[in-house]
Amino acid sequence: MNLMVPGVMQGLVGASSFTKLADASMSVYQQARARHDEGTAVRSLGYAATCAGSAAESSAKAQEALRKAQLEARERAEDEQETETQKQTTNTPTPADAVEISRGGQAIADGKTNAAGVHSTEPAADAVEGLVVYTSQAKAAPTAVQPKLSVIA
């Protein structure tokens, strides 16, 4: 975000203008002192003091406007970051559970087809060899059960 908002610009331009006026008044003061003109010297010194005070006020206004602009920029950046984070979390697909089927299970699921194209209910020979049953203690135990797959149309 651009921090040079109107309030900052106005304060900086005002401070610069008043500083130049104070500088001009000080030049008049120095010339009046050189000529020993007390009246002109006092007036020009008064103008210089007034302009210096106005420059300080304008500078303070510019600083305050800059602080506000910085706060707004910080808030906008935080809002944009929060919006981006929300957008990323809503667009991120939730992870799906993955299932891994063993070769034996895949062979059972696929079934066995003979040369005539008839679906057999007998499991594939290599599928029966690797079948195991897991106990409640998470130990593998061989099984004597012969799995069968039936398809009814």
Question: What's the whole-number mean pLDDT along residues 26-46?
Answer: 94
pLDDT at 115: 36
Q: Is the pLDDT of residue 114 over 50?
A: no
DSSP 3-state assignment of 142? strand
pLDDT at 67: 94
Question: What's the whole-number mean pLDDT along residues 104-111?
Answer: 70
Give the pLDDT band (50/70/90) at residue 129: low
Q: Is the pLDDT of residue 40 over 80?
A: yes
Per-residue pLDDT tens for 50-71?
999 999 999 999 999 999 999 9
Cβ–Cβ under 8 Å, residues 121 and 150: yes
Residue with tokens 């149309």: 153
Q: Is the pLDDT of residue 132 over 50?
A: yes
Per-residue pLDDT tens for 78-105?
999 998 888 877 766 666 666 777 777 7
100 by Cβ neighbours in 10 Å (0-12 / 13-18 / 19+) ranks as: exposed
Give the pLDDT band (50/70/90) at residue 139: confident
Question: CB under 8 Å to 148, separation ≥6 — which residues?
Answer: 121, 122, 123
Question: What's the whole-number mean pLDDT along residues 109-122?
Answer: 52
pLDDT at 41: 93
Question: What's the whole-number mean pLDDT along residues 22-32?
Answer: 94
Q: How far apart are CA 118 and CA 111, in angstroms?
A: 10
Q: How far apart are CA 111 and CA 115, in angstroms?
A: 13
